[in-house]
A and B are shown apart, each in its own frame.
Chain A
Amino acid sequence: MPIKLPSFRPRKDAYPPDLWTKCPSCSEMLFNKQLDKSDRICPTCGHHFRLSAEARLALLLDDRSFREEDAGLQSVDALGFVDQKPYPDRLAAAQMATGLRDAAVRGTGLIDGHPVAICVMDFGFMGGSMGAVVGEKVTRAAEQALADRLPLVIVSASGGARMQEGTLALMQLAKTCGALERLRAAGVPYISVMSDPTTGGVFASYAVLGDVNLAEPNALIGFAGARVQAGTIAQELPPGFQRAEFLFDHGFIDRVVHRRELRSEIALLLRYLVPGDGVDEPPESRPGFTIDPIGFLTSLAEKVVPDLGPLDDAPAPNGGGGGAEAGAANGSARSTRLGRPSTAPTRRAAGRPRATTVEGEATDG
């Protein structure tokens, strides 16, 4: 029976037990609703909070383009694992809490018109840990990408392999890496996006193997957790250790990308990696890659039709811009309100505003 409890979630969202979240970075108290509207980025300091799989898909993909695959995959307790709680109980609790069956959601969709195979992880489901289902979904995503020659995008958010599945979870490293090697040999691009956190077995398998590795600012990315390190070696850890910028400095990440730019960055990379997929623009029309005429027209049309108003001048630096990005997770009516000055400088590739995105459509259970 499909597990489907979304009917409880809006209520929880509307009246959360505590309405405020304290930003761990700048200690500002943030109103949760406001935080959601701003893609869970702290408006004061830009701290990136974690995103659910659903919100991540809404953020990255074109409106209504997501088609979920393998929604029915569910883990089995092969070991009979019992710690404080039996593993099946933990699974059930996580399913109740998130409305997901496991920590990854996969399918196909469009990123700025580019068709992609996509798999996103949700840290809220047992710490995003990788068991057989996550491994299987990543592998199937890679196999589908290979079969259909679609570029693969994986957004990781995970504490590592799922201990409750023992070595079978460890074997998912081999499974996913094997599939990605085939993808690599066939010349199908793979973009890996690491969000906070990407550690352990997930980082040491598919997350680090991207043809292009992107990461969100200040995301925790590393192999061994602090506790493992403390138990093994008694050593001071350098400041900023295992953060996205640390990995960038050491050459393991191509670009550290602000969440609001992620979608346009991926689209930009796809234009290089998948030439001739029909969504390329002629080179002369992208001076500094700031404008995407097709996207612009589409977005204008979208704005005019469903939003009952000529609204604004789409590429206006501030209002239109902020609204476009925020639109990925919000209704368009808020566009102008959200156009904060702080977001303006980050919006250079905002030529393709998407006016509306209907949420809740992305992953429905």
Chain B
Amino acid sequence: MVDRLLGRRPGSTDDATHDAKSAMWNRVQLARNIRRPRTLDLLALMADDVVELHGDRAFGDDAAMACGFARIDGHRVAFIGQQKGADTEENIRRNFGMPHPEGYRKAMRVMELAERFGLPIVTFVDVPGAHPGPESEERGIAEAIARSIGLMSRLRTPIIAVITGEGGSGGALAVAVGDVVIALENAVYSVISPEGCAAILWRSADEAATAALAMRMSADDQLALGVIDRVVPEPGEGAHADHAETARRLRAVIVGELDRLGRIPLPELLDARYRRYRTLGAYTETATPPVPPPSSRGLGDRLRDLLDPARWLTGKTGSGPSRRDEPAAREEE
């Protein structure tokens, strides 16, 4: 605490914080760059051929989610990825890459297809978040996301997830559970958009850059946390400057991983995948005595019980459910 206070003194540290913040925000802007290569752009550049599949067989086809088959360096794969638009018109058509539930259900359909026909899956994640509107809720966006996460955790085929741009919360994770998770250098991954986080924790959307830094959403930070496994460097100023080179580098990594994962027996692969997520998250475990029921209550309780015969007689030992209702909690995404 003292260090932190001292660290706030005018001078070097403040500047350093400011620099870190703007560097992080720069990353976020790069990840959101409208000229950044999208799922279908990357596939067109790295695959020998691509067949897109459409429709979730239940409701409709979601243009924000692209799914299909592709051949990458001789590997037949199923691909899944959010698709943002390259201009405003296309963005409106593709809902700015924010899938509705049918998008995730289409993805699940293709995943199951891949499992049945023995195709490995490559996913491309670039999403600000799943579409948050009423129609999305009506059709069960949460259910679609949860099912998709569950499905990917047990799918009997190798899965490679690539975070290419924005990895926004559940909408990203729904197609980003894999045996290996790769990110482009300027991609970001977070539990909530920095704007949303700032609005909730700082009560001001202006603190988005601060929130981005605090959440450590850059690819390098995520690598350090173990959430992703590999970072692929982007050429020059960033992926938007050179699509072909970005695709070439990504292709080399994906092909390498396809070869590697293809050699691992399925049960081992599934076990490793389960363990990969099983071990994420930091906690400590203090040894506590097993909770010995009433006798373990504090001295104060026992005194009060003695002093309050009515309570003692009825066997009510205190506390109970009393807690005033808290403010509404429509917070995190």
Contact = CB atoms under 8 A, between A and B. Distances in A.
A95 interface: no
Contact of B300 (A7, A133, A139, A161): A7
A159 B318 contact: no
Interface stretch (B45-53, B77-85, B105-113, B275-283): B275-283
B190 A166 contact: yes
A199 B177 contact: no
Given A76-B282, A178-B153, A223 B277 contact: no
A86 B5 CA distance: 12
A86 B278 CA distance: 27
B165 interface: no
Interface stretch (B54-62, B193-201, B232-240): B193-201
Contact of B328 (A10, A36, A197, A231): A197
Contacts of A167: 167, 189-191, 215, 217, 222, 225, 227
Contact of B281 (A67, A83, A124, A168): A168
Given A83-B201, A168-B281, A208-B142, A333 B214 contact: no
Nearest to B178: A174
A203 B147 CA distance: 12
Interface in A136-166: 136, 139, 158-163, 165-166
B132 A233 contact: yes
B320 interface: yes
A163 B197 contact: yes
Contacts of A315: none
Given A76-B284, A79-B215, A83-B202, A252 B277 contact: no
Nearest to A5: B298
A73 B214 CA distance: 24
A228 interface: yes
A72 B288 CA distance: 6
Contacts of A318: none
Interface in B262-301: 273-274, 277-278, 280-291, 293-294, 296-301
How many B residues touch the partner, as a band? 35 or more
Judged by DSSP, the binding face of A is mixed
B170 A201 contact: yes
B329 A197 contact: yes
A238 interface: yes
A123 B141 CA distance: 23
B154 interface: yes
B79 to A, nearest CB: 20
A198 to B, nearest CB: 9
A237 interface: yes
A78 B146 contact: no
B319 interface: yes
B277 A174 contact: yes
A255 B30 CA distance: 46
A313 B20 CA distance: 72
A92 interface: no
Given A36-B320, A72-B287, A177-B150, A231 B196 contact: yes
B316 interface: yes
A251 B129 CA distance: 23
Given A2-B286, A21-B324, A79 B330 contact: no
B138 A225 contact: no
A169 B326 CA distance: 22
A111 interface: no
Contact of A6 (B190, B288, B297, B331): B297
A46 interface: no
B149 interface: yes
A170 B301 CA distance: 39
B175 to A, nearest CB: 12
Contacts of B147: 209
B91 interface: no
Contact of A173 (B170, B225, B227, B278): B170
B214 A74 contact: no
A160 B138 contact: no
B212 to A, nearest CB: 11
Contact of B330 (A35, A70, A179, A199): A199
A4 B304 CA distance: 17
Interface stretch (A263-271, A286-294, A324-332, A343-351): A324-332
A9 B318 contact: yes
A224 B137 contact: yes
A110 to B, nearest CB: 14
Contacts of A222: 137, 142, 330
Nearest to A12: B322
Interface of A: 1-2, 4, 6-14, 16, 18, 21, 24, 32-33, 35-36, 39-40, 49-52, 54-55, 58, 64, 67-68, 70-79, 81-84, 86, 98-99, 123-124, 127-129, 131-133, 135-136, 139, 158-163, 165-175, 177-182, 184-185, 197, 199-201, 203-206, 208-209, 220, 222-229, 231-233, 235, 237-238, 241-242, 246, 250-252, 306, 329-334, 356, 358-361, 363-365
Given A159-B332, A208-B146, 4 more contacts: A159-B329, A166-B217, A178-B278, A331-B314
12 contacts: A2-B286, A7-B301, A13-B320, A74-B286, A132-B280, A166-B217, A167-B215, A201-B169, A228-B333, A250-B138, A250-B139, A361-B317
Interface of B: 4, 98, 128-134, 136-143, 145-147, 149-151, 153-154, 167, 169-170, 173, 177, 189-193, 195-197, 199-202, 205, 211, 214-217, 222, 225, 227, 273-274, 277-278, 280-291, 293-294, 296-301, 304, 313-326, 328-333
